[in-house]
Amino acid sequence: MRIRLCLAALSLVGGVGLTTLSTPAASAAACSDIDVVAARGTFEPGTLGLIVGDPVFSALQKKLTGRNLSSYKVNYPADLSLTSAAQGNSDLVNHVNSQAAACPNQRFILVGYSQGANVVDNSIGISSAGAVVGSPIVATIPAALEPRVAAVLLFGNPIRAIGKSVTGTYQSRTIDFCAEGDPVCEAGGDDTLAHLGYTADADAAAAFAAGKV
C-alpha cells in the first residue's frame, strides 16, 4: 500500500529509530514576537521535524530578521494510533491559548506536515476526519485569537486527497503544498517519494509567511 510505504520511509529518514521520537512535556515559550508552532509528520524525526519543521523555521529566521522568533514542537505521538492527530490538535490549541494569555503581543505561525497538517487543520476548524491519519476536531483556536495567527503553512496535507482544503477565516493566510504524485495529499497519487521532498518548499513557505506578518 502506497501510504504505508510512505510512512515507513518517514520512519527511516536519517536512520533514526522510533524510540528517539518521544516528546518532552509541553512548556511555554518566552514572549517572542512570533511563535512558530510546528506539528511533525508521522514518525518524522528532527527537532521540529527533519523534512519540514526544521528547514521552515530556519528559513523564517532568515526572512524575518527584524523579529524575535520562538518555536514549539507540538507534543503528540505522530504515530498510526486512532487518537494521535486528536492529541496533537488538543496540544496545539492548548499551547496557543496559554501563550496568547501570557504574551499579549505575540503572533503565531502554524506549520503542519502530513499528519501534522491534519493537526493544524483541526485546530483551525477544518476537520481531518476521513483523511489518512486524520481525526475529528477536538479543539479549535478561539475566534478572539484568530487575528493573531499570521500564517498557516501546510505540506502534504491529507485532507486534500478527500477533496477538502482550508476555507473560511484562515484561507487567505494559508499556503498548502501538495507535490505532484504525492499519494498522501493527491487522490490517485503514485509517487511515494514525492511526500518526502517538501524541504524544497521551505523558502517559498517562509516568504509567504513573511508577507503576512
The question of whether 195 is a catalytic residue gets the answer yes
Residues 70, 71, 90, 114: which is the catalytic one? 114
**Helix/strand/coil (H, E, C) string of the chain?**
CHHHHHHHHHHHHHHCCHHHHCCCCCCCCCCCCEEEEEECCCCCCCCCCCCCHHHHHHHHHHHCCCCCEEEEECCCCCCCCCCHHHHHHHHHHHHHHHHHHHCCCCEEEEEEECHHHHHHHHHCCCCCCCCCCCCCCCCCCCHHHHHHEEEEEEECCHHHHHCCCCCHHHHHHEEEECCCCCCCCCCCCCCHHHHHCHHHHHHHHHHHHHCCC
The question of whether 114 is a catalytic residue gets the answer yes
The question of whether 182 is a catalytic residue gets the answer yes
Residues 54, 91, 195, 201: which is the catalytic one? 195
**Which residues form the catalytic set?**
114, 182, 195
